Structure 1
Amino acid sequence: MGRFRAKLNRLELKEMYLNGRKFTWSNERENVTVEKIDHVFMTSDWEDLYPASFLSAVGSVISDHCPLLMDLHADFHMGRRFRFESFWPKAEGFMDTVALAWNSVPSFGNPFVVLDAKLRATAKRLQTWSDRWIGNVKLQITIALEVILRLDVASDSRQLSRGEQDLRRILKRKLLGLCSLERTIARQRSRLLYLKEGDVTTKFFFRHARQRQRRNIITSIKKEGEYLTGHESIAAAVDEYYESIFGSASERAYTINLDALDLPRLELSHLERPFMEDEVEKIVKGMPLDKAPGPDGFTGRFYASCWHIIKTDFMRAMNAFLSWGHAWPGIDKPSLGCSAAKNGWG
């Protein structure tokens, strides 16, 4: 296997991920033996030509090999999800946008419901702000390159005017910043956070992100003997399943008298003291900056950079958790990741 991998590296080939099956061959006997014999390999250039390619398996029918089906234009559309971009805190107007969105929701009532509403409002406002003031980075790069090319072609036959020269100079300077933003976005999508932005090219990050997408996508799900396809149908089935298994604890027939066991007693009152703001801030700012602890898309960088804005509401929720324990009045069932993605904010 090691020699085989070495040959692939020399040929600059990599294996395409097979979705839905671990093995592609069976000896069709009672004591079955299964192996992965069939593979599909691709080059990086081919992957760039077909970024939406998707490899899956179909039924083996009369053969002991399962046929492989290659879709060159698979539908990877998952609905628009909110993702906190790592470069946002450096952009002008970011803090003002967060403060405006966060304070737009009143801070009275159930602290957990309030916190959820504030995060939703902030996600929506940040997405609008990003679309308006930052926009589509890839599209801006394409436009800048096209305008620079046209000015270069014009300079072959005539002297550029002062305005054209200034425009070309400004576009080149802006292009450097846009390419840096694109590389930052690609690195965050790839999850290869141990690599610095200058270690590899932007294409490498985008290719790895596409590979992750192929591995993580769910194309169909079986529900009561019926196969469901499409993001909306799959999300609804997953939500329905998990909502059905959430329940309340029933009365226990027996209990344990811990006092009768005469167990040694420890002084644990310090575990019940209120949370201190400085210790919570230390934990928040110690989280991985570019990883999201939940399905809402907010990364540790958001909590660390905006802690001075959001800390009051977070401390209210944490102290309510300490006071109420498991009995949280006025809270509905927790929303699931699929519902969050389906609603466009998770």
Structure 2
Amino acid sequence: MEEAPHILCLQETKWDTANAQFVKQTIGRKLDSYLVINAEGTAGGVLLAWDSGIFTKLAQKIDHYCLSVDLAFNMDDTIFRITGAYGPSTITEKQAFYRELQGAQPQNLLPWIVCGDLNVTLLPQDRTDNSNHRTQTNRFRTIVEGLQLQDLRLQGRAYTWSNEQENPIFARLDRFLISTTWSQTFPNSVQTAIPNTASDHCPLICQVQTKFPTSNIFRLENSWLKREEFKELVNQQWGSIQTAATTRDLSVKIMALRKAIIHWKKMHAEEQKFQSDLCKNCLHWLAQQSERRRLTNVEKLLKNILLQRYTTICHTEEEKWFQRAKRAWVSKGDKNSKYFHLLASKRKRANLIDVVQEEGVQHLLHKDKAGAIHRYFAKLMGARHISGTQFDMSVLFTNQ
């Protein structure tokens, strides 16, 4: 997942009071709008946050287990409803949860998506143990079918929760549910799970569209300074060029070093991405195998090594995005995935122009926006012409 989310939903926040400063430190600067359901003591709690530069809130509904918000996409005025939910564990409370979920259904056929830890399975195969959950599963499936919601297929994993015991129990308790209107409006919605390095739940990502044009500005990353190979590169490259005698020589020397660093950065980024993808793929495979059988001691050792390596890579990413975010970093709470680390990594979108209007026509694509801006300034400044100055030196010597 290369892009930071535009909407974030957290469950079981355990915040009995939503301190605004702490919330903003947790969700980041760009996710500047949010709704919360406070926890009761240290149990429960839901947070739903979004970027007000991309979405405009039209309406909201906050209940005990569910909170809903109607958002309008600023680029094309598409309106949809998102409901964040945290399902209770007791049977008596589940009935109230189901009623709230039914009450959250939009009445005007808005695209609707429900997300969160629902604490109940939808299908019998969503749980590996033989405990008696079939009644609640059937009840919840009836509710979902009555609301005309569809289960968005989870790619790469079969379950989202494990009790992390010697003989583990697996279940799919977290999910995205989408309405028919949502699937028609956003037919390319994809749900994926990423490795859970410090939690018994897998973080889930629903990707609809996350592509933004990026600049080629050179930036020195603080995390590079902690790598010995980077220090050796700088020392070797700087020492290979003769001492600068003039400012021009110094500029040439700096440019040569910059070119060498850019080449190293590209190779380093490819290596980091390869190792990150390898760790995630292996962790996914091990998670899938553990859902079918008991892992061997070698596989358990490999899992621990992969988790440690993946966590190290995530920490490197954390340092990079900490530098780019220009804000107070996460001081508390879970720090268990690249997904959470990149919540504040959208500084590159601070200068993004979402839409350019030219003579009543809205341009959304990057190349169309660039062309419209070029035409505007070309028209404003006039046609290109060769400028010059003529000066008659004889005028200086003319007698007055």
Indicate the TM-score class for this superposition, using the shorter chain for normalisation: 0.3 to 0.5
Greater helix content: 1
Greater strand content: 2
Higher relative contact order (CA 8 A, sep 6+): 1
TM-score, length basis structure 2: 0.37
